[in-house]
A and B are shown apart, each in its own frame.
Chain A
Amino acid sequence: EPEVTQTPSHQVTQMGQEVILRCVPISNHLYFYWYRQILGQKVEFLVSFYNNEISEKSEIFDDQFSVERPDGSNFTLKIRSTKLEDSAMYFCASSSRQGDYGYTFGSGTRLTVV
């Protein structure tokens, strides 16, 4: 069964450093998403991406964050100048069409900022 692949599974970074979280969505999917889950809290939407541009972003997704689809297969989330409160599980997801029940989530990247 096709799956969304996220790397790395765990990342520890120093406060103030930049991190790039990587995702390989399902190959025939067109919509891509990043979500965040702070430990013990609910899953929060960050950004959606379609046709090489951001479709929607949340208030969380400020200038510290950026997304890119550099090569037609990878979908990355860059967090600049990380803060302690950026520590969370970051999920990538993809879907074949908007609203289709075929949302598939990756297994997540657990980011720890120290």
Chain B
Amino acid sequence: AQKITQTQPGMFVQEKEAVTLDCTYDTSDQSYGLFWYKQPSSGEMIFLIYQGSYDEQNATEGRYSLNFQKARKSANLVISASQLGDSAMYFCASHQDYKLSFGAGTTVTVRA
């Protein structure tokens, strides 16, 4: 089974600064997908960004970018120009077979 590791339980970031959330994964498959989701205090899961294992370029979506280093099996999320509304739990996940496997999550708190 896939294993996703997020080593940062919590992070603080100053408003307007960038923050990097770490994610490593463990798979022997050649084809897989990597996702980041945001979970605010209200509880819903909001899709942020996706990276396919065969994608040669790092994915970007607005202020979110994914630093994909395939050889290191890492897929770090970078949030640029942090906003107060970015305060939430962030989950890294990978798709393999018929399911997503999630990491333990990182809580981000943005300070004014």
Are A42 and B102 closer than 8 Å at their CB atoms?
yes
Instruction: Categorize the interface residue count of chain B.
Output: 20 to 34
Q: Which residue of A lies closest to B4 (CB)?
A: A42
Closest beta carbon of chain B to A15's beta carbon, Å: 23
Residues from 29 to 74 in B contacting A, C-beta threshold 8 Å: 31, 33, 35, 37, 43-47, 50, 52
Give the most central of B91, B95, B104: most A CB within 10 Å: B95
Are B47 and A55 closer than 8 Å at their CB atoms?
no
Cα separation A56 to B50 with both chains bound (whole Å): 22
Cα separation A106 to B37 with both chains bound (whole Å): 13
Residues from 14 to 42 in A contacting B, C-beta threshold 8 Å: 31, 33, 35, 41-42
Question: How many inter-chain residue pairs (CB < 8 Å) link A and B?
Answer: 57
Which residues of B come within 8 Å of A, CB atoms?
A: 31, 33, 35, 37, 43-47, 50, 52, 91, 93, 95, 97-105
Q: Known pairs A42-B104, A48-B99, A105-B44. 19 more at Cβ < 8 A?
A: A31-B98, A33-B99, A35-B100, A42-B91, A42-B103, A44-B102, A45-B100, A56-B97, A56-B98, A56-B99, A93-B45, A99-B31, A99-B33, A99-B95, A101-B35, A101-B50, A103-B35, A105-B45, A108-B43
